[in-house]
Chains A and B, each alone.
Chain A
Amino acid sequence: MDRYVEIVNLVKAYPNPVGEAIRVVDGFNLNIRKGEVVSVIGHSGCGKSTVLTMVAGLNAITSGDVVVAGSVISGAGPDRAVVFQSPCLLPWLTSFGNVMLGVKRVYPHATRQERKEIVEYYLSLVGLADAMNKYPREMSGGMQQRVGIARAIALKPKMLLLDEPFGRLDSLTRMDLQDVIMGILNREKITTMVITHDVDEAVYMSDRICMMTNGPRARVGQVLDIPFDRPRDRRAVLEHELYYDLRGCLIDFLEKFDKHKHVGKGDGREGMSGDDDVRGDGKGVELAGAMDMMLGLPADDNAEMSLKISDMATGVVGTAEVLSLAEVSDGV
């Protein structure tokens, strides 16, 4: 169980404007133990989401392998549930309906009553027992993200993949949701990979923190063990004698790879990150396409929805693929 997840020499190459393959991620290696929570930090644009979406099976792997529980992954599957920064809920379904989508898929032989109980169980785990019949538009961003988390966990995944799940939330809501996730992970012991930009969040939530070097050719630069017992208490963590040294270790690493500070220094892999903004437009295109598929109508017919997912195309594609589109029309 030491190698429950093995990420072996993972490479992702994208064509640059003149058609050359640029290795954004080059030789990313990481093993994760069963039940372990590993966070991934690194500068914006280094390739964190690229790694996570490859592990999720939502992004083609150029070379390398991802092995989960002994099997090499090929494509997306409900064994790896993904939560993105924006929750990507289906707006015409209640929170109950959104969670039910996944439950139907992973409990195909359960009775209607059993499925209902499962959905209710996961929604109450994330603190939404009283909001089961609310539509996304009736919920705050934090509540919507809770639904997204419940939906992911209800899949009974072997692995939970979180890409800046709290990135959009104010700090109080963020702390609430960190605790919601921590509570669930304590109970369900799901092997988790979480991307974050927040060093304190990384220290509080993780068993290990994987620091990525800058792209192109990003890879793992350093891995820090976080020796705090679980369940964790936020205050106890903050007051732990190692807290500031661990935190300092992360900050040192990030400063070392801060391209604005160290342009042109280092071993040639640093300080040369690709343009962060390149993706902006392409994403919108992907998004619109995905939404069209899901809705069967032009995306701009629903301004609210396109706004919500506007910069998280992969999220939409992910939801669609993970839940499989066929089931969307099936209703609840």
Chain B
Amino acid sequence: MVFDATMTMTRMDEITAAAEVWHVDADETQAMLIDGVYGAAEALGFSRDGLVLHAGQGLAGAVLARRVPVLLRELDREAFEGSEAAAASGVVAAIGIPVFDEEKLTAVLVVMFRGNPGMVGGVELWVGRRGRVELGLTEAYYAGLERFGKISKYVNFPIGSGLPGMAWAIGAPRLITGLGKSQAFLRSSGAESAGLVTGFGVPIVHRNELLAVMLWLSSRATPLARWHQVWESSDGRVESLRCVAADGVGSGEVKSEKLKVKSREGVGSGGAELQAAITAAVREAGQRRMPVVFDDVSAQGLEGVGLGEVKSEKLKVKSVEGEQGNWGGAKPQAAGWGGRGGRVLGGFALPVLRHDGVRAVGVMAW
């Protein structure tokens, strides 16, 4: 491979550094790393090959022992296995998410994050507090969101309210784009001043009980994920999974009908190859009842997607008008795509299971 300085820079500039799927053995005593995507951090990937952790050991082991999501804002040797290799790839924080199939904890999804100066984004865990009927913020990793984070820990959402409350109420992932102007995102003015544009909330459930809602908050310049999709199944069957919400590079919600329009035109939430990869990952996640990771997918067809609201009518206008359309901050980002070689560095499909099938699958890709 030809060494390309700009490319390497760009890739190491992604907040989301890696995602891993850990398989939990039948008696829940150990977790084994079975798949991982590391983007440009290849050394990190090699260093983690074949890892096995016992309950209580490292991040996946902590999730195993506690049976709740665990977010580490600092990766010290105690809490995180292989913290040196992670640090060498710029990783400063990580989250471990349990996936339950009925009573059994079957898998842990681990996602690692960077925190270079200038990055803006956050991951939050919203959990029910003792004696309360609302969700409160228990843990968060913030990059460049000091003020937003400071006030967020005093905010609580009841079921149905705010992004955490909505994900709780529908029992499926929920996507909000255009956070700064959103009616549904109650911390919108904080989001706006911090530069956040997209919020993705994923309920983490054990049977019918909500353990937490995980929120991903992305800025336009340094998004945690460039694509978010929500797939829901009306009857629990994997074949019934349909994409009900998706975004493109950083904003604009797309409803399923509109998605068709978009893919025909070859723009929007990814080129055909990316969409095919996502669809395959979603189905696999539903079938295997496990999280699934994917990477190195072509994002061709993305250049030229605007950051404005992606409504079908507007989309047409946009493709006709080209650069005259509602571009928002798209141009710098479109330029960034060239630097990445037009490839998706990583992504995962995380299922929300129910006893007789799959309720929904949340997809994030960066």
Contacts and interface: CB of A to CB of B under 8 A. Distances in A.
Interface of A: 2-3, 29-31, 33, 213, 219-227, 242, 245-246, 248-249, 252-253, 256, 262, 265-267, 270
Given A246-B151, A262-B183, A31 B156 contact: no
B188 A245 contact: no
Interface in B159-177: 159-162
Contact of B161 (A222, A225, A252): A222
B298 to A, nearest CB: 37
Interface stretch (B126-134, B310-318, B333-341): B126-134
A171 B155 CA distance: 28
A33 B133 CA distance: 12
A2 B131 contact: yes
B156 A224 contact: yes
Given A245-B147, A246-B154, A221 B184 contact: no
A248 B159 CA distance: 23
Contacts, number: 76
A223 B134 contact: yes
B158 interface: yes
A249 B154 CA distance: 10
A3 B154 contact: no
B188 A29 contact: no
Given A219-B160, A223-B134, A256 B154 contact: no
A223 B156 contact: yes
A256 B183 contact: yes
A33 B155 contact: no
A224 B150 CA distance: 13
Contacts of B183: 256, 262, 265-267, 270
Contacts of A242: 150-151, 154
A221 B155 CA distance: 11
Contact of A31 (B133, B136, B159, B161): B133
A267 B184 contact: yes
B132 A31 contact: yes
Contact of B130 (A2, A222, A245): A2
Nearest to B156: A223
Contacts of B130: 2
A33 B129 CA distance: 13
Contacts of B131: 2-3, 31, 33
Contacts of B145: none
A224 B152 CA distance: 9
Contacts of B158: 29, 219-223
B161 A213 contact: yes
B186 A245 contact: no
A252 B184 contact: no
A223 B135 CA distance: 9
Nearest to A270: B183
Contact of B186 (A2, A30, A253): A253
Interface string B119-152: 0000000000011111010000000000100110
Given A213-B161, A242-B150, A224 B155 contact: yes
B189 interface: yes
20 contacts: A2-B131, A29-B133, A29-B158, A31-B131, A219-B160, A220-B158, A220-B161, A222-B156, A223-B158, A225-B154, A225-B155, A245-B147, A245-B150, A246-B154, A248-B189, A248-B190, A249-B151, A253-B186, A256-B186, A265-B183
A46 to B, nearest CB: 14
Contacts of B100: none
Given A33-B131, A262-B183, A224 B188 contact: no
B294 interface: no
A250 B126 CA distance: 20
A221 B133 contact: no
Contacts of B159: 29
Contacts of A220: 134, 158, 161
A248 B193 CA distance: 12
Contacts of B187: 249, 252
Given A223-B134, A249-B154, 17 more contacts: A2-B130, A3-B131, A29-B158, A33-B131, A219-B160, A221-B158, A221-B161, A221-B186, A222-B158, A223-B156, A224-B156, A226-B154, A242-B150, A245-B151, A248-B189, A249-B187, A252-B190
A248 B188 CA distance: 11
Nearest to B153: A225
Contacts of B150: 242, 245
A241 B159 CA distance: 30
Contacts of B189: 248, 252
A332 B189 CA distance: 57
A225 B156 contact: yes
B80 interface: no
Contacts of A223: 134, 155-158
Interface in B186-209: 186-190
Contacts of A245: 147, 150-151
Nearest to A225: B154
A68 to B, nearest CB: 15
Nearest to B159: A29
B104 to A, nearest CB: 31
A207 to B, nearest CB: 11
A265 B181 CA distance: 12
Leading 4 A-B pairs by shortest Cβ distance:
A2-B131, A223-B156, A266-B183, A245-B151
Considering residues A30, A219, A225, A265, which has the most beta carbons from chain B within 10 angstroms of its beta carbon? Answer: A225
A78 B160 CA distance: 35
Nearest to A208: B156
B328 to A, nearest CB: 20
A227 B152 CA distance: 12
A248 B190 CA distance: 9
Contacts of A31: 131-133
Contacts of B184: 266-267
B122 to A, nearest CB: 16
Contacts of B188: 252, 256
Nearest to A2: B131
A245 B154 CA distance: 10
A256 B190 CA distance: 13
Given A3-B131, A252-B188, A252-B189, A227 B154 contact: yes
B145 to A, nearest CB: 13
A248 to B, nearest CB: 7
